[in-house]
Amino acid sequence: MLDILEMFWAQVSATPDVAAIIHAGNRMSYASLAQLNREMASAILSASQNTNPKVLIAVRQSPSAYAAMFGTLLTGGTFCPINVDGPVQRNIHIVRSFIPDVLLFDSSCPKEILEESPAVAHRINVDEVPPTELDSRPHECNEMAYVVFTSGSSGLPKGVKASRKAVSYVVHSEQQYYRVTNGDRWSQYSNLGYDMGIMDVFQALCHGATLVPITGPLNRVMPARAVKDSEVTIWQSVPSVLELMIQGNEVSSDLLGSLRLMIFCGEPLLPRQLEVLFDACPQLTVFNAYGATETTGFNTINQLTKDNFRASCGSSTVAIGNDVQGWTVELDGDGSPEEGEIVIVGDNLSLGYWQDEERTRMAFKQRRKGSEVTRAYHTGDYGRRIDGNLYCQGRLDRQVKIRGERIELEEIDDFLRQSGYPAAYSILHGGEVHSFVECSSYIDEAQVRTQMQKELPVHALPKLISIVTSLPKNANGKVDRQELERLASGGAE
């Protein structure tokens, strides 16, 4: 199996003049991107003077961002991308945790990150990289390809360490489903601080397709028009973006007619959404996939067409499909093999959590089958098999997914407690966060929300903050979630 860099260079050799990227109306060939990759690698090594440098990428979706990723790998290093539009304090935490050797930035990088970085990194403006090239590829590469930070129960994001071996395996194995060619145009809607956005880049550019970043305010809120304008053939996103298209009356053969594949993951896909999609675009093949950041890629995948999708709609959500080659998905329940925690078993799990051995031991465990010992990742998701179909039916703990992004409800409660409201509890109700605060007096909700916007990502901001004289408790003295659900639905306190 080829390494991801070898896959990319194979495409450069085979199709140097094919468009690797179309961005803001401009076309960049594979040969030109390869040149930029080498220039970026040379700049990184010149700045860091370190073997296997750690590189923080604070760049919006663009050719420079992708060259920063491949350029880092070319040096043998590890990159860590951040969402430059995300909460500043979270990004500062990532800088302090990752402690990069080099910070790559562009004009989109918040000034707070630049002010934070001098003590821990050399800074390089990607728009000013000199035209010098790395002479040769390093002989030894870091085992880690990248570190991506996701939500943590402590209120701080946790870093997941993805290995080059795992990334290469995912890019190679998922090709059996997508059959990507140099005639495809692969969208990139997710930002690079999210693992799906990273894999968009590798899946497209390691298989010779043209990568099309979906940028700009209008394209972000009306993505189907960007699909038409750029003649996108493969779309990957969370189902919330499909819902955005549906609500905007954008799901039509006129706007989505160029697509051959749509790939959804990160949150439940709904039968209603497929009904609308296949009514408008019967030519489509849809993949509904399941995977965790900790497993790098997809562990199950369900191939759906207009003729077979109804068989996968035996629940309120669409089935997540069968095990992808190389993975075994098990359900750890109370004696029943048909329901329980989803556990992923395989040789290509991530390397664990960045600087957090205790959390790594808790989530990544060993499984013995006969004489063989393999690693297993305990997802915390609840799965159930219905009529032979596997469905993911939410979290066993309080970690939830909102618009494809993971967030701990405890993270929101912790913020409210630190803001002077020691008794606070948040629930997910109707797909949005509803927070309850125990308070006997007036709460300045506007002020609380203003501070929240600085600390928490947009998708974690409560839709409602309700004041209660006391949080309801159950017989065990714990907060009664069912009673909060009733209150959120309009029940009287």
Q: Is 29 helix (H, G, I), strand (E, B) or coil?
A: strand
Return d(Cα 126, Cα 212) in angstroms, integer.
Answer: 20
Model pLDDT, residue 492 = 57
Angstrom distances, CA of residue 361 to CA of 143, 289, 297, 373, 376 = 19, 26, 21, 16, 11
With beta carbons less than 8 A apart as the criterion, state whether 333 and 339 touch.
yes
Model pLDDT, residue 60 = 93
Backbone angles phi, psi at 181, to 5 degrees: -130, 175
Q: Strands 122-125, 185-188: parallel, antiparallel or unpaired by DSSP? A: unpaired
Model pLDDT, residue 256 = 98
Token pair 């996108």 in the structure block, residue: 232
Model pLDDT, residue 185 = 98
Task: Give all domains of the chain, ordered by start, each with its CATH number.
Answer: 4-322 (3.40.50.12780), 399-488 (3.30.300.30)
Find the distance separating the first CA and the last CA of the chain, reported in whole Å.
Answer: 60
Q: Residue ranges of the alpha helices (H) in 323-480?
A: 357-363, 409-418, 445-455
Secondary structure letter of residue 251 according to DSSP: -
Q: Extract the runs of DSSP E, i.e. beta strands, from 164-226.
A: 185-188, 210-213
With beta carbons less than 8 A apart as the criterion, state whether 385 and 338 touch.
yes
Q: Is 55 helix (H, G, I), strand (E, B) or coil?
A: strand
Model pLDDT, residue 21 = 98
How do residues 77-115 score in pLDDT, each as one tens digit?
A: 999 999 998 888 889 999 999 999 999 999 999 998 988
Side-chain-side CA neighbours of residue 302 (13 Å): 27
How do residues 401-458 score in pLDDT, each as one tens digit?
A: 787 777 778 788 878 877 878 778 899 888 889 999 988 777 788 888 888 888 888 8
On whether the pTM is more than 0.75, the answer is yes
Which segments in the chain show pLDDT lower than 50? 139, 153, 475-476
Model pLDDT, residue 455 = 84
Side-chain-side CA neighbours of residue 376 (13 Å): 18
CB-based burial, 264-278: b 16+ in 10 Å, e otherwise: bbbbbbbeebbeebb
